[in-house]
Amino acid sequence: MDVGDKSWMDLRRSTDEYIHGVNDFLDKAFERASQGDEILCPCKKCFNCYWHCRNVVEDHLICHGFVHGYTKWVFHGEGFSSRNTPHPTNDDENFDRQDGIDKLLQDTFRNVVDDLRHEGVREGLSEDAKRFFKLVEEGKQELYPGCKNFSKLNFAIPLYLFKCIHKLSNVAFSDLLDLIKEAFPFAQIPKCFYKAKKVIKDLGLHYEKIHACTNDCILFWNDTAKLDKCSVCGSSRWKNVRDDLTNKVTKIPAKVLRYFPLKPRLQRIFMCSETSVAMRWHDTERPKDGNLRHPADGEAWKDFDSLHPDFASDSRNVRLGLSSDGFNPFRTMSISHSTWPVMLMNYNLSPRICMKSEYIMLSMIIPGPSSPGNDIDVYLQPLIAELKELWEVGVETYDIVTNQTFMMRAALLWTISDFPALAMLSGWSTKGKWACPTCNHSTYTQYLKHSHKMCYLGHRAFLPHDHPYRRDKKSFNGKEEHKVAPTPLSDVQVLEELLEFNNVFGKGQKKRK
Spell out the alpha helix ranges (H) of 235-372.
263-269, 273-278, 281-284, 299-307, 309-312
DSSP state of 505: P
* Pair 142, 152: CB distance under 8 Å: yes
- Nearest Cα neighbor of 323 from 409, 422, 256, 391 is 422
* Pair 270, 408: CB distance under 8 Å: yes
Tens place of pLDDT per residue across the chain (513 aa): 444 678 888 888 888 899 999 999 998 888 887 877 888 888 888 777 778 889 889 989 988 888 877 777 877 877 543 333 434 433 333 333 334 444 444 444 444 344 434 333 344 445 555 555 565 555 556 666 767 666 666 666 666 666 766 677 878 877 877 787 777 777 777 777 777 777 666 666 678 899 999 999 999 998 888 888 988 888 899 988 887 777 888 888 999 999 999 998 898 888 888 889 999 999 998 888 888 889 999 999 999 999 999 999 999 999 999 999 888 877 666 678 888 999 999 999 998 888 888 889 999 999 888 888 888 999 999 999 999 999 999 999 888 888 888 999 999 999 998 888 888 888 788 888 888 888 888 888 888 888 888 888 888 888 998 899 998 888 888 888 888 888 888 878 888 887 877 878 888 655 444
CA–CA separation, 431 vs 262, rounded Å? 33
* Pair 442, 462: CB distance under 8 Å: no
Residue 115: predicted pLDDT: 41
CA–CA separation, 371 vs 328, rounded Å? 11
The letter for the amino acid at 4 is G
Q: How, if at all, do strands 318-324 and 410-416 pair?
A: parallel
Residue 346: predicted pLDDT: 93
* Rg of the chain taking only CA atoms, in angstroms: 29
Residue 147, burial from CB neighbour count under 10 angstroms (0-12, 13-18, 19+): middle
CA–CA separation, 487 vs 485, rounded Å? 7
Phi-psi region of 281 (alpha: psi -120 to 50; beta: other; left: phi over 0): alpha
* Pair 70, 3: CB distance under 8 Å: no
Residue 119: predicted pLDDT: 39
Residue 76, burial from CB neighbour count under 10 angstroms (0-12, 13-18, 19+): buried
| Angstrom distances, CA of residue 157 to CA of 149, 209, 301 | 14, 21, 40
Domain boundaries, the chain: 7-193, 208-253, 260-287+297-425, 440-512
Residue 143: predicted pLDDT: 67
For residue 105, how far is the Cα from the chain centroid? 17
Residues β-bridged to residue 241: 250
Residue 408: predicted pLDDT: 94
The letter for the amino acid at 263 is K
Residues β-bridged to residue 258: 209, 365
Residue 482: predicted pLDDT: 87
Report pTM. Answer: 0.65
The letter for the amino acid at 95 is F
| Angstrom distances, CA of residue 233 to CA of 22, 297, 315, 505 | 71, 48, 46, 10
Residue 331: predicted pLDDT: 63
Longest dimension (CA), the chain: 87
Residue 151: predicted pLDDT: 66
CA–CA separation, 378 vs 78, rounded Å? 53
